[in-house]
Every structure is written in structure tokens, then in C-alpha cells.
């Protein structure tokens, strides 16, 4: 790569929506989306059900093609899925291979990345360790709790060594305790790896707690209503962060937004 190419790819935002419209089956789903996501930024998206959050995520994933405008990843148009962009689905029960144990589910990503077999075992141990599943490598998904299965899905996504992590309501199906634990683990992981995160949630507090910015979408067709910067110190803390006046102010603003729809 030449010097100038490196320079532009450093300067370009990690993800950029540039005047994106999207129609599916003749129906306008997203309209006029403009959004720049910096490298290493944690972006949360909230909005009423059916407003197009998942669709936006799938545009970044390369599962949909913009009808107008462009979605860019590191300065290049996204025109199909790429291992550099990993997805964590909400329905972990459907997204894991039930016939592979935890280690082999992580191996799926390494195989797809063409990692030589001799290097895989150590890497698998490493990734399972990162999500606290080191002792469960031989367990099949059917033998794991929901929280463990979602950790496994995160481990598989990390094994892709992605620059962008797309998470679609990843903790929505988990109980409150497990959810908080996973929120903190997730923040730790992506901070350490410098991963950019696009995080869809229907939980206002989760969005504020995790995000650098919170994007609100309004429906029919999906448009960006507002973008709120979260001025809360990191590392976040489940007790103090949630009591911070800034947290409470944002919660009020976002609550009013959701109520309005």
C-alpha cells in the first residue's frame, strides 16, 4: 500500500453512511441516512420497533445494498459481507452450530479466515478465555446457558479479528444480572482490541451505558432523528455511571423520544 493510500484509509471514518436510502420490496425502509462512525467508537442505535435498526446494521454487514447513496467501510464502498465486519445476532440459539462444541464453533471463524490448523488450538483457547469460557471448550451449545451461548457468539466474532463489530440486540434475551455482566465484559473487550461497535438495542439505559454516541431513529421511513453524545467517563461503572446526572438527563431525553412514537 502506498503512503497516501495509508493516509486516506487512516483519515476515512471506519463506517460512513452517505445519503443512504434503502427500499425493500418496493417499500421505503430507510431514508436519507447520514452518519460517520470513527475508528474505535461505540455507537448505539435505539428507536421504536420496526423503524429500521436491524436494516441499518445489515447494510453495514453487506447483506443489503443501498438503493441510493453509499455505505463506506474505511473509505471503500461496502458491496458484500466481509470477515473484517463481524456480527453478533440476538438469537444465539440459531446462530451457533449446534453440532459443534464451543471450541469448534470458534474454529469455524478461524477456518473461514484460513488460519493454519496448527495455530488454531492456541487461538481458540485465547478467545474462549477472553469471554470467560475457558473451562467450557468441550461443551455443546445445548449444554450452555443463554449467557454462555452469547459469550460464545462474541468469541467467534472476535476470532474474525474484525475492525467492526455489529451487535443486534445481543443481550435482549438475557436476564438482568447476566446482561450487566456481559455489558461490562463487552466494553472491556472492545476497548482492549480497539474495535468499532455498532450496537442496536431497545434498552435506553443500555444504549447510554455502553455508547460514545446514541443514535435515535424514527420510523416510516427510518430516519435519523437525533445523535446524542454521551459525556460520561470511562471506564463505566454499573453503579456510579447509572447515577451520574448526565446519565439521568440523557435517559430523560431518550425516554421522551421513545414515548413520542
Ligand X SMILES: Nc1ncnc2c1ncn2[C@@H]1O[C@H](COP(=O)(O)OP(=O)(O)O)[C@@H](O)[C@H]1O
**Residues within the interface to Mg ion (CB under 5 A):** 54
Which one of ligand X, Mg ion, other proteins, none interacts with residue 61, CB within 5 to 8 A by kind? other proteins
CA 207/CA 92 separation, integer angstroms: 20
**Looking at beta carbons only, is 98 or 233 nearer to other proteins?**
98
The bridge status of strand 223-229 relative to strand 68-73 is unpaired
Instruction: Please report whether residue 136 would count as binding ligand X according to CB under 6 A.
Output: no
Residue 31 contacts by C-beta under 8 Å, 6 or more apart in sequence?
A: 21, 221, 222, 223
Instruction: Please report whether residue 155 would count as binding other proteins according to CB under 8 A.
Output: no
> Among 28, 41, 91, 203, which residue interacts with other proteins (rule: CB under 8 A)?
91
**Are 2 and 47 spatial neighbours (Cβ–Cβ below 8 Å)?**
no
CA 155/CA 82 separation, integer angstroms: 17
CA distances from residue 139 to 88, 106, 111, 125 in whole angstroms, order as listed: 20, 12, 19, 13
Instruction: Please report whether residue 112 would count as binding other proteins according to CB under 8 A.
Output: yes
Number of residues in contact with ligand X under rule CB under 6 A? 12
Q: Residues 37-76 vs ligand X: string with x where CB under 6 A?
A: ----------x-xxxxxxx---------------------
Task: Cell numbers for 186, please give them.
Answer: 463487552
Residues that bind other proteins (CB under 8 A): 61, 63, 81-83, 85-87, 89, 91, 94-95, 97-101, 108-109, 111-113, 140-143, 160
Amino acid at each position: 500500500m502506498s503512503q497516501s493510500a495509508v493516509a486516506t484509509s487512516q483519515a476515512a471514518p471506519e463506517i460512513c453512511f452517505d445519503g443512504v436510502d434503502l427500499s425493500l420490496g418496493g417499500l421505503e425502509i430507510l431514508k436519507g441516512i447520514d452518519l460517520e462512525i470513527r475508528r474505535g467508537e461505540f455507537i448505539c442505535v435505539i428507536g421504536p420497533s420496526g423503524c429500521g435498526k436491524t436494516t441499518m446494521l445489515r447494510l453495514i454487514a453487506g447483506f443489503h445494498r443501498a438503493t441510493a447513496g453509499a455505505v463506506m467501510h474505511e473509505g471503500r464502498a461496502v458491496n458484500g459481507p466481509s470477515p473484517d465486519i463481524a456480527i453478533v445476532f440476538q438469537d444465539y440459539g440459531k446462530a451457533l452450530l449446534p453440532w459443534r462444541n464451543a471450541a469448534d464453533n470458534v474454529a469455524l471463524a478461524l477456518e473461514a479466515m484460513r488460519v493454519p490448523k496448527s495455530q488454531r488450538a492456541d487461538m481458540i483457547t485465547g478467545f474462549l478465555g477472553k469471554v470467560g469460557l475457558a473451562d467450557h471448550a468441550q461443551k455443546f451449545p445445548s449444554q450452555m446457558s443463554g449467557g454462555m451461548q452469547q459469550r460464545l457468539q462474541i468469541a467467534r466474532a472476535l476470532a474474525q479479528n474484525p475492525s467492526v463489530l455489529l451487535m443486534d440486540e445481543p443481550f435482549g434475551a438475557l436476564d438482568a444480572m447476566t446482561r450487566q455482566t456481559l455489558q461490562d465484559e463487552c466494553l472491556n473487550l472492545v476497548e482492549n482490541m480497539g474495535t468499532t461497535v455498532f450496537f442496536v438495542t431497545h434498552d435506553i439505559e443500555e444504549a447510554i451505558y455502553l455508547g460514545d454516541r446514541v443514535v435515535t431513529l424514527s420510523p416510516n421511513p427510518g430516519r435519523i432523528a437525533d445523535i446524542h453524545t454521551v459525556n460520561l467517563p470511562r471506564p463505566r461503572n454499573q453503579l456510579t455511571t447509572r447515577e451520574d446526572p448526565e446519565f439521568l438527563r440523557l435517559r430523560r431525553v431518550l425516554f421522551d423520544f421513545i414515548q413520542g412514537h
